[in-house]
Amino acid sequence: MTRRMIILTEGNSNPHTAKTACCLIRYKREEVVAVLDSTQSGTTEQALGVGADVPFVSSLEQAPDANTLLIGIAPPGGKIPESWRSVILDAIGRGMDVISGLHDFLGDDPEFSAAASRQGVTIRDVRRNDEKTIARRTGLREECLRIHTVGHDCSIGKMVTSVELTRALNARGHDTKFIATGQTGILIEGDGIPLDCVKADFVSGAAERMVLEHQHHEILMIEGQGSLVHPSYSGVTLSLLHGCHPHGLILCYEIGRHKVTGIDHLAIPPLADILKLNESLASISFPCSVIGISVNSRRATPAEADAERDRLRDEFGLPVADVFRDGPGELVDAILQLQQQRLKD
Amino acid sequence: MTRRMIILTEGNSNPHTAKTACCLIRYKREEVVAVLDSTQSGTTEQALGVGADVPFVSSLEQAPDANTLLIGIAPPGGKIPESWRSVILDAIGRGMDVISGLHDFLGDDPEFSAAASRQGVTIRDVRRNDEKTIARRTGLREECLRIHTVGHDCSIGKMVTSVELTRALNARGHDTKFIATGQTGILIEGDGIPLDCVKADFVSGAAERMVLEHQHHEILMIEGQGSLVHPSYSGVTLSLLHGCHPHGLILCYEIGRHKVTGIDHLAIPPLADILKLNESLASISFPCSVIGISVNSRRATPAEADAERDRLRDEFGLPVADVFRDGPGELVDAILQLQQQRLKD
């Protein structure tokens, strides 16, 4: 059955809070029927920055051909707003499946699960997992190139960079697999492990398991999580960095982001320090460097974006590109150059 | 009801695998009746290094006054050996409670839980938790001094150092609380959160929550976990380091430990690099330094231990002590000196 989704973002239709909605519209357009937010009208493009042909609707009735309700936001703390319960129950009553990436599993809610079982529909909690693998750092196929996106904060474009580079590498004929490590990436790719919801001892092992399972590909593009300098989530970041054994890093950076997301009294350290920290922690078994910088300039003017790109090139002597504004070519070249260099060594 | 424990270590009675057993004998001697290992005889002192008056027994019958069975080892992968099932069922049948620190929860095993409910006994899975707090870095009482033990590998004495320093500080009249972050520490202290089994997004928040709850004390001694350079568990270490907001670090180090535990092909980096990495990652909001080195010299001769202590003092210019061989005095002085210095600033 083809998935035809209505995405629930009620009252939260902005690119930051509704990251999941934006990325599904961008990368799974063919599965998105509409976005449910009664406070909005027209198409999603203005509010979300994507979806010139995706309508906002104010009720499930207005999208009768949808067969799936996707929770399209990640509220702080992961709890579902009380007012959404009736929407979810309505969807289940209409025979729709429900997909959620919340930390609070909808399938564990007695009312939702009883309703779903009555209607014979599925509640899929994307973050649910039972990972129990310890990382062992053995069995790696060194001909498979492992590239990992890291960043200076949360929600700055690590996933988008990974997907865009995967597509560009495949378009150039290099068999590349996107390794999804978060809920949105998993919904796009169709597989992956939600690392932020794995028990802490097994996060590194889960990352390693994905690498081992997919290393028959030529290149793996491994989605980063959080940041080493975001103290709430840095452990997820480091477990992933150590577990995925990267050969090269793409450092993601958003222009105008100066404070740690959610901790306004904490400044993000200089990018040079973050780069050094990532390289130092990544190089635990073999040297691993940042090979390019992916700039997110969504909040910058074209002139500001160009100036910042030039400044970063000067400071770091690395390829720098906004994958949308400049295209991914320069970063793809950097990846292929690392591949060539490793084949020679 | 007073807990009178028999500790199960069958076939694994050595200080490394039976760490939980050793520490319970050391710090909860009054609750330990015997250790169950049919491959051993006499007292536990020779095999475990502690317990001159704790007998090995080969069956539950030999310790009829025990009312609790404690699983005293942490097998790799956290799975219970098949042969132990009958011992656990026998204990339940005798009306004993069962305590386990395994990742695989005994209480979720249908046979164990049915038997426990028939007998009216309790199965306590120490690692079970439902932590869902995001770290926010607010509300800290700066008059409460936060000291955190870190290390160059797993199982080198971070917990023992924390407990010994807590006791020594209290003995000198400084109201100090041991913050337990692992299963063994929790069994000793009676409270705490098993961070390695918390969902990755919430580890830092769980550490912060413990600090906030106990900051009415003068000093908190926060037990470290793993190591920043142990790639299987480094994420737990970093989440804790960021979540507990330390003012000062005690770096724990075992003489003769050169390879990463469980990853024999990976060398532990030089201690100076590890010290720098910890300080750099800890100093995210305010400067935090290593103020002393706790040396575990259990496998060294007295002459080797003295030589290594002198070498470390020369290299780092810091107080260095084995809390058992040299006593904790020098490290306690370093902590109180930091406290004085902060009061002046």
- The tens digit of pLDDT for each residue in B151-208 reads 999 999 999 999 999 999 999 999 999 999 999 999 999 999 999 999 999 999 999 9
Range list of β-strands (E), chain B = 5-8, 32-36, 56-57, 68-71, 97-100, 123-125, 145-151, 176-179, 219-222, 248-254, 259-260, 263-267, 289-296, 320-321
Q: Which residues of chain B does A199 touch, with a Cβ-Cβ cutoff of 8 Å?
A: 103, 196-200
Between CA B265 and CA B286 the distance in angstroms is 36
Q: Which residues of chain A does B198 touch, with a Cβ-Cβ cutoff of 8 Å?
A: 199-200
Pick from A140, A152, A154, A233 the residue to mutate for testing the B interface (most B CBs within 10 Å).
Answer: A233
Q: Is A139 on the interface with B (CB under 8 A)?
A: no
Question: For residue B300, what are its two tokens?
Answer: 């060294």
pLDDT tens track for A333-345: 999 999 999 999 8
Q: A182: nearest CA in chain B?
A: B201
Q: Is A280 on the interface with B (CB under 8 A)?
A: yes
A180 alpha carbon, distance to own chain's centre: 7
The DSSP secondary-structure symbol of A43 reads B
* Residue B49 confidence (pLDDT): 93
Between CA B216 and CA B87 the distance in angstroms is 43
Q: Which residues of chain B does A77 touch, with a Cβ-Cβ cutoff of 8 Å?
A: 132, 134
Calculate the alpha carbon distances from B56 to A11, B8, B15 in Å: 65, 10, 15
Q: Which residues of chain B does A136 touch, with a Cβ-Cβ cutoff of 8 Å?
A: 232, 262-263
* Residue A345 confidence (pLDDT): 82
Q: Is A78 on the interface with B (CB under 8 A)?
A: yes
Shortest CB distance from B231 goes to which of A132, A135, A201?
A: A135
Q: A233: nearest CA in chain B?
A: B201
Tell me the average pLDDT across A96-115.
95
Query: Edge-to-edge, what's the strand order for the sheet holding B123-125?
Result: B56-57, B32-36, B5-8, B68-71, B97-100, B123-125
In three-state secondary structure terms, B43 is strand
pLDDT averaged over chain A?
A: 96
B205 contact partners, CB below 8 Å, separation of at least 6 = A232, B131, B132, B133, B134, B135, B136, B243
| Confidence band for A78, pLDDT divided at 50, 70 and 90 | low
Q: Which residues of chain B does A204 touch, with a Cβ-Cβ cutoff of 8 Å?
A: 231-235
Residue located via tokens 């690692």: B127
* Residue B76 confidence (pLDDT): 62
CB B187 within 8 A of CB B97: no
Q: B231: nearest CA in chain A?
A: A242
Q: How far is A217 from chain B (nearest CA, A)?
A: 24
Q: Is B266 on the interface with A (CB under 8 A)?
A: yes
Q: How far is A345 from chain B (nearest CA, A)?
A: 21
Confidence check: pLDDT of A92 > 80: yes
Nearest to A94 by CA among A61, A139, A52, A48: A61
Q: Which residues of chain B does A135 touch, with a Cβ-Cβ cutoff of 8 Å?
A: 231-232
B83 contact partners, CB below 8 Å, separation of at least 6 = B10
Q: A286: nearest CA in chain B?
A: B266
Q: Is A240 on the interface with B (CB under 8 A)?
A: yes
Question: For residue A88, what are its two tokens?
Answer: 């979810």
The DSSP secondary-structure symbol of B265 reads E
* Residue A83 confidence (pLDDT): 84
Between CA A35 and CA A58 the distance in angstroms is 8
Q: A195: nearest CA in chain B?
A: B200
Q: Which residues of chain B does A76 touch, with a Cβ-Cβ cutoff of 8 Å?
A: 134
- Residue B265 to residue A138, Cβ atoms within 8 A: yes
Q: B283: nearest CA in chain A?
A: A229
- Residue B281 to residue A285, Cβ atoms within 8 A: no
Q: Which residues of chain A does B263 touch, with a Cβ-Cβ cutoff of 8 Å?
A: 136-137
Q: Which residues of chain B does A266 touch, with a Cβ-Cβ cutoff of 8 Å?
A: 137, 284-285
Question: Phi, psi at residue B328, to the nearest 5°?
Answer: -85, 0
Confidence check: pLDDT of A167 > 80: yes
Q: Which residues of chain B does A205 touch, with a Cβ-Cβ cutoff of 8 Å?
A: 232
- Residue B232 to residue A240, Cβ atoms within 8 A: no
H/E stretch holding A311: helix A302-316
Q: Is A237 on the interface with B (CB under 8 A)?
A: yes
Residues of chain B scoring pLDDT < 70: 75-78
- Residue A204 to residue B135, Cβ atoms within 8 A: no
H/E stretch holding A222: strand A219-222
